[in-house]
Amino acid sequence: MRYPYAGKPNATSKIRIVEFSDTEIIHRKLLDHDELHIAFPWMEYIVRFGWIPNGQSVWAQILSRDQKRTAVVKLALEQFTSPSSSLPTEILWEETNSAWINVTDAYYFMKQTDATVTRLIWSSEKSNGYRHLYLVEKHIDQPAVITQLTHGEWCCLDKPIYVDESRGLVYFSAKADTPLEPHFYVVSYLRPQDGIRRLTQPGFSHTVTMTCPDYFVDCFSNLRHPHVFYVQKIDHSSLLPSPSSCKGLILPVCRITPHQNCSPCIADTIFLHTNSSGAENIKHYQEATLIFESVLSNGHLFSFTTSDGVVLYGCLYRPRSYQPGYSYPTILHIYGGPKSQMVVNEFRLPRLMRYLMSVYFGFAVVIIDGRGSSDRGLHFESHIQYRLGTVELKDQIEGLQFLYNTKFGAGVTKDGRKVSVVDLNKVAITGWSYGGYLSLMALGQYPDLFKIAIAGAPVTQWELYDAAYTERYMGLPSENRKAYAKSSVLQYVRDFPDSGNRLLIAHGLIDENVHFKNTEALVTELVKHNKHHYLQVYPNEKHGLRHASVNEHFETLMFYWLTNYL
C-alpha cells in the first residue's frame, strides 16, 4: 500500500454528499466560500465525520498537520446546495495541545429537539492529560457550553460510548479502578456531580458492547481464566445516586462456554446455555478453566518504580519446568510503542500464543509497559515525543533489573534461599513492528545486555514510515533532523555485535504497513559494517503473518535460535 512518508505531501480530503434519486446520482460539495480548508487554513486531515441525528446537518473533526490542533464543526445541508446560503460553519469543539491530540471513537451526538441547539458527548485529554468525557451544548451564534462529566487521574478508553437519552445516562469503558483492568461505567450527564458507577466485576478485564438501554454484552477474563460472555441486565432502579460499588442486577441470560471435549486452545464448537440455574454453564466453564491451567504457565503481574519515580507494570511468566533455586534464559517480549498496552489482567491466548509457548522450552518471558504506552494519560504517553527509540528501553531494562534484584516470582528452596527467575546473562529481546524496531535499537544500544534480538517487520528509519503516525510523535523531518537521526536504527548499526547468531530479522515482502524498504536499508547498512545477521523473507506475507504454514515456519526458526544461541 502506498502512503505519504513523513514530511512529504499528504493526500487531500474534502467532504462530499452523494444524493440518490431514481434516475441519477448527484455529488454535492461545499460551496467555495464554505470549503473547510478556506475557513480553517491550518486543517490537514478530516479524521472523523458523520450525520447529525436530525439528518439536516453533518459534522466533521478536523486536525492540523502537527496534530496539536483540532476542531469539531457542523455543516448545514444548505452549505452544499444553496449558493445564497448565509449559514456559518459552526464550531462545536476546539482544542490545542502541546504534545498531540489523540483522535478517538468515544463520542456521541444526541437527537435534536431544537434545530438551533446541538448537544454531544465528546472525549478529550485537555483538562489534566487524562481522557475524560464532556457534555457540549452549542446554540447558534453563541459559544458552546461545556460540562466535564468525569474526573480523576485515569482514562476513559478509546471505545464507542452509549447514551441513554431517556434517562440522561452515559455508559463508557475506562480504567478508573486500575490501569490493568478495563471496566464498564455509567455517569449521569444531568447530575455529573453524583460521580461514576462501575457495572462490572473487579478482578477481570471487560470488553463491553451495548446497543440498547437495558442490557449489555460483557466479555471478560483474567490471567488465569479464559474469556466468558454474559448478557447482563441493568437494574435502573439502583443506578443513581451512584455509590462506589456496583449494585446493578446481573442476570446470566446466556453464557458462551467451550464444550468439554474441545481443544484447550481452540474451541471449534461453541454451545449456548440458557438454562435458568446456570449450573451446567459453571460446570463446563470450570472444566475448561482446569484444562487451561494444566497447560499454561500463569502470569505474575508486578509493578516497580523507575529511578525517576514513575510506577510501571509488567508480567512475568515462569518456565513450565520452573524449580526454585535456578535462573532461566529470559525472553523480553516488547512492543513499546504508543496506542498499545501489553500488560493487563486478561487471558492472553491466543494473542500471545507464540511467546507463551516459550515457557515449554524452558524460558522465562517478561512483558513490561513502559512510558509511551497507552491508557496512562497523555503526559505518560508523550514521554517519547521527539525521542522514539531512545528512551523506551530504559524502562524495560529497569524492569528486568527489578525482577533480578528483588527475585520477584521466585520460589524458596529447601534451605530457604531465593534465586532470581530471570538470568540477566541470557536475555533475548523480540517483537514485531514497533517491537521489532525496539529490538534492533536494543541490540545497538545495549549489546552487552541483550544476547539475541529477533526483529519482525521493523521500522528502521522514520522518514520511511507513514506521515500521519510519524509526525504525531516526531514532528516534520525538516524541523527535527537531529531527532530523526537519533531515532534511526541505521545510526546504531556500527555498534551491533560482531559475533554471529545475535540478530534475526523477519519481514513480509509485501508488507503494506512497514514497507520492506526499511529492511532493505538496514541490510545495506549491516553489510557495509560487516555485521553478522540472518534475514528471513516471506514473499507472500503482509505486515502480520497470516498463513498457518508461515507462522509455523517462523516459530520453528525463532525457537531454533532461542534454544541454540541464547
User: Model confidence over 31-71: pLDDT tens digits?
Assistant: 766 689 988 999 999 999 999 998 889 999 999 999 999 99
Query: Smallest Cα–Cα separation from 171: which of 182, 179, 160, 155?
Result: 160
List CB contacts of 3: < 8 A, sequence separation 6 or more.
466, 467
Cα angle, residue 219 at apex, residues 215 and 223 outer, rounded to 5°:
150
User: Model confidence over 309-335: pLDDT tens digits?
Assistant: 999 999 999 999 999 999 999 999 999
Whole-number Å distance between alpha carbons of 399 and 420: 13
Structure-block grid coordinates of residue 36: 473547510
Catalytic residue list contains 21: no
Structure-block grid coordinates of residue 488: 534511526
pLDDT higher at 487 or 39 = 487
User: Model confidence over 76-96: pLDDT tens digits?
Assistant: 888 888 776 677 889 999 999
Q: What is the mean pLDDT of residues 482-493?
A: 98
Range 460-479 burial, b when 16+ CB lie within 10 A, else e: bbbbbbbbbbbbbbbbebee
pLDDT value for 225: 86
Rounding to the nearest 10 degrees, give the CA dihedral for residues 376, 379, 381, 385. Answer: 180
Structure-block grid coordinates of residue 108: 456521541
pLDDT value for 391: 95
Whole-number Å distance between alpha carbons of 480 and 462: 12
Catalytic residue list contains 244: no
Point out the catalytic residue in the list 433, 439, 487, 488.
433
Let me know: does 89 contact 73? Beta carbons within 8 Å.
yes
pLDDT value for 361: 92
Point out the catalytic residue in the list 132, 225, 227, 543.
543
Point out the catalytic residue in the list 34, 369, 395, 511.
511
Structure-block grid coordinates of residue 72: 469539531
Q: Residue 510 carries which side chain, given as an amino acid letter?
A: I
Q: Is the bond leading into 458 cis (omega within 30 degrees of zero)?
A: no
State in Å, rounded, how far the first CA of the chain is from the last one.
Answer: 36
pLDDT value for 348: 80
Cβ of 52: how many Cβ atoms within 10 Å? 21
Q: In the chain, pLDDT over 70 holds for what percent of residues?
A: 88
* CA–centroid distance for 293 within its chain: 27
pTM of the model: 0.89
Whole-number Å distance between alpha carbons of 366 and 352: 12
Query: Smallest Cα–Cα separation from 396: which of 404, 144, 256, 277?
Result: 404
pLDDT value for 238: 63
pLDDT value for 297: 66
User: Model confidence over 241-251: pLDDT tens digits?
Assistant: 433 444 433 32
User: Model confidence over 101-117: pLDDT tens digits?
Assistant: 999 999 999 998 888 89
Structural domains of the chain in order of their starting residue, each with its CATH number? 1-103 (no CATH), 296-565 (3.40.50.1820)
Catalytic residue list contains 511: yes
pLDDT at 523 over 50: yes
